Amino acid sequence: MNPQSRIDIEPNGAGLVPPAPPWMPAGHPLDDGPLRALLDSAHEAFVSMDAEGHVLVWNRMASETFGWSEQEARGRQLGDLIVPERYREAHEAGLRRLAATGEGRIVNRRIEIEGLHRDGHELPVELTISPMQTHAGVVFNAFLRDISDRREAKAGARRLAALVEGSEDAIVASDLDGTLTDWNPGAQRLYGYSAEEALGMSVSMLWPSGEGEEVEQLLAAFRADRRIPSYEARHQRKDGSSVDVSVSLSAVRDGSRSVIGVAAFIRDITERVEADRTLQEARKRFETTFEEAPTGIGLVDPQGRWLSANSSLCRLVGRDVADLLITDFQSITHPDDRSADLAQMEATLAGSTAGYEMEKRFIRPDGSVVWAQLNRSLVRDDHGAPLYFITQLMDISERKEAEEELQRYGDHLTELARLDPLTGLRNFRDLHAMLDTETARSRRYDAHWSVVLLDVDGFREINASGGQATGDRV
C-alpha cells in the first residue's frame, strides 16, 4: 500500500482526515517568528489556507476554538476540520470559484456561520477572509471568533425584550437624572401615556404634584449605589386620576458595574388596596360591635381557654379580660353545671351538632352566683379542624329570681288552697286530690283500697245540726 495514499481515521468521529501532503509549502510569511508570536497571542482563531483549502497556518486560539492541534491541522482540508458536513459542498464550490475568478461572496466581509468542533458539536463563529499574495501564490487568511456568548446574550436579550413587552406590569427605566429611557406596553396601559409621549420626559410626571422631592431622593440613593427596598405608593395617570402601585427598583449597570440608570417594575394594586381598606373597615365595625354589644361575647378554644371577651361578658362574670385570658370557662362555671356544659362541648367537637345552648351558672370572684343563657357555636377551618367557639352569654339572673319567686308564690297558693283557713287543717279539696291520686294508683296496680272517715272532735254533730256556719263560730 502506498503510504502517501493512507487515510487516518480519527477516533473522535469527526470524519476521515487526510495526512499532511509532502508538497506542503515552507516559509509561509506568517510563520516568521515575530509575526507568528503575534498571531499566537491573538484572541481570535487565525487560519491560513492555500487556494485548494489546505491549512497552512493554525494559531493557538484556533486550537482552543476547534480542538485540533496545529500539527493535526496543517496540510489538511479546512472544510474537513471545521465546516459542518451539510455546508462542505458549498464550501468547496466557493473555493473553486475563488481560485478561478479571485472573487467570492464572503471575501473581505464579516459574516456569521456555524463551525464544527473536533468533538462533533457545532458552534457559531464570526468569520473574515482576506486574500494575500505570497511568493508561492495566493493564500487566504481567515480570522474566526467564537460568538457563542454573544449569540446567547442576544437570545437572552430577545427573551428579556419579549418578557418586558408581554408583561402585564409596567416596566420603565430612566437615567440617573430621571429622564425616561424605556417604557413598555404595560406602562402605557397603567398610566395612559404612549411610549412616544413618555420617553424623554421626567419620571416625576408619575408622581402627584408636590411630591418631586421623593423622586429626587430615590435618584440620589441610586447615584450613591444604595439599594431601595420595594414600596407602595400612589401615582398619577395621564388623565389626572390616582392609582395605587407596588414599586420594585433595580440599578441598571454598565460593563464596569457602574450605575447608569434605574429600572422600575410597577404593579397596579388598586384592587388589593381597596380590598384591604374594605377589610379594615369591616374589622373596625366588628370590633366596635363586639366591644359595645350588650350581650356578652367571647371566643373560647377547643380546650375551653378564653381567647377574647368583650366588656359585657367581663361585667357578667365579674372579671377583666386579663383575668379571663389566663383561665378557662370550666374554672368559673358552677360545679353543678360543669358536667352538662362539658358534655355538650364534647358532642359539638365530635361533630354531632354545630353548637348548643343552655342555662348555666357562673361563680364570680366574690362568691356570688350569676345565671346566664349560653349560646355556643363552633368555627372550623377549611379542612374541618376546630378553631374556636363563639360564646354568647346573656344575664338571666333577674328572670331566674322572678321565676323562683313565682314558684314559691305558686307553691304557697297551692298549699293555702288545701288548708282550712280557720283551723289550718287539710280541707275537702286536699281530700279529693288525695282520693284522685290513690284511685289512679289502684287502677295502675289493679289493687283495692279503702277510705275510713273519723270524727275525732265531735264537730260532725254540730255541723250536721247547726250548719257549717255554726260549726265555724264554735
Structural domain including 457 reads 418-472
Q: Which three cell numbers stand for residue 456?
A: 275525732
Q: How many CA atoms lie within 13 A of 440 on its CB side?
A: 6
- Choose one of 151, 184, 206: the last residue of a domain: 151
Residues 226 and 252 in one domain: yes
How far, in Å, CA of 275 to CA of 279, rounded?
6
Q: Does a structural domain hold residue 405?
A: no
Q: Does a structural domain hold residue 288?
A: no
How far, in Å, CA of 355 to CA of 349, rounded?
9
| pLDDT for position 408 | 77
Q: Which three cell numbers stand for residue 467?
A: 250548719
Long-range Cβ pairs for the range 465-474 (8 Å, 24+) = 472/422
How far, in Å, CA of 81 to CA of 15, rounded?
9
Residues 225 and 269 in one domain: yes
How far, in Å, CA of 393 to CA of 416, rounded?
39
Kindly list the strands in the beta sheet with 386-395, ordered across the sheet, starting from the edge strand earlier in the chain: 306-309, 296-300, 386-395, 369-380, 355-363
Residues 323 and 352 in one domain: yes
Residues 178 and 90 in one domain: no
What SS3 state is found at 241? coil
| Cα Rg, the chain, nearest whole Å | 53
Please give the C-alpha separations between residue 414 and each of 297, 421, 425, 434, 441, in angstroms, as whole numbers.
41, 13, 14, 14, 22
- Choose one of 151, 177, 208: the last residue of a domain: 151
Residues 42 and 104 in one domain: yes
Residues 384 and 422 in one domain: no
Residues 115 and 176 in one domain: no
Q: CA triplet 281, 285, 288: central angle to 5 degrees?
A: 135
Q: Which three cell numbers stand for residue 344?
A: 355538650
In eight-state DSSP terms, residue 419 is B
Kindly tell me the burial class for residue 82, based on how many C-beta atoms sit within 10 Å of its own C-beta (0-12, 13-18, 19 or more): buried
Q: Which three cell numbers stand for residue 23?
A: 508538497
| pLDDT for position 13 | 36
Residues 147 and 172 in one domain: no
Q: How many C-beta atoms lie closer than 10 Å to residue 14's C-beta?
A: 19
| pLDDT for position 288 | 86
Residues 384 and 440 in one domain: no
pLDDT per residue, tens digit, the chain (474 aa), is 333 333 333 333 333 333 444 444 455 666 666 777 888 888 899 999 888 889 999 999 999 999 999 999 999 999 999 999 999 988 888 888 877 776 777 778 888 889 999 999 999 999 988 888 777 778 888 899 998 888 887 777 677 677 777 788 999 999 999 999 999 999 999 999 999 999 999 999 998 877 778 888 999 999 999 999 999 999 999 999 999 999 999 998 888 889 999 999 999 999 999 999 999 998 888 888 888 888 899 999 999 999 999 999 999 999 999 999 999 989 999 999 999 999 999 999 999 988 999 999 999 999 999 999 999 999 999 999 999 999 999 998 888 777 777 777 776 667 666 666 666 666 667 777 778 787 888 888 887 777 776 665 666 666 666 666 665 565
Beta strand pairing call for 306-309 and 296-300: antiparallel
Q: Does a structural domain hold residue 31?
A: yes
Domain CATH code at residue 102: 3.30.450.20
How far, in Å, CA of 139 to CA of 126, rounded?
20
Q: CA triplet 132, 136, 141: central angle to 5 degrees?
A: 30
End-to-end Cα separation, the chain, in angstroms: 169
Q: Does a structural domain hold residue 282?
A: no
Report DSSP letters for 118-157, one per residue.
TTS-EEEEEEEEEEEEETTEEEEEEEEEE-HHHHHHHHHH
Please give the C-alpha separations between residue 49 and each of 124, 237, 283, 300, in angstroms, as whole numbers.
21, 65, 83, 91
Q: Which residues contact 319 (CB under 8 A, 6 or more apart)?
A: 332, 364, 365
Residues 13 and 84 in one domain: yes
Residues 143 and 194 in one domain: no
- Choose one of 151, 181, 205: the last residue of a domain: 151
Please tell me the total count of domains within the chain. 4
Q: Does a structural domain hold residue 412?
A: no
Q: Does a structural domain hold residue 408?
A: no
| pLDDT for position 463 | 65
Residues 389 and 268 in one domain: no
CB 172 within 8 A of CB 186: no
How far, in Å, CA of 161 to CA of 397, rounded?
75
The counts of H helices and E strands in the chain are 17, 17
CB 349 within 8 A of CB 336: no
Report DSSP letters for 189-225, one per residue.
HHH---HHHHTTSBGGGGSPTT-HHHHHHHHHHHHTT
Q: Does a structural domain hold residue 69?
A: yes
Q: Does a structural domain hold residue 348?
A: yes
Q: How many CA atoms lie within 13 A of 398 on its CB side?
A: 3
How far, in Å, CA of 234 to CA of 419, rounded?
88
| pLDDT for position 80 | 93
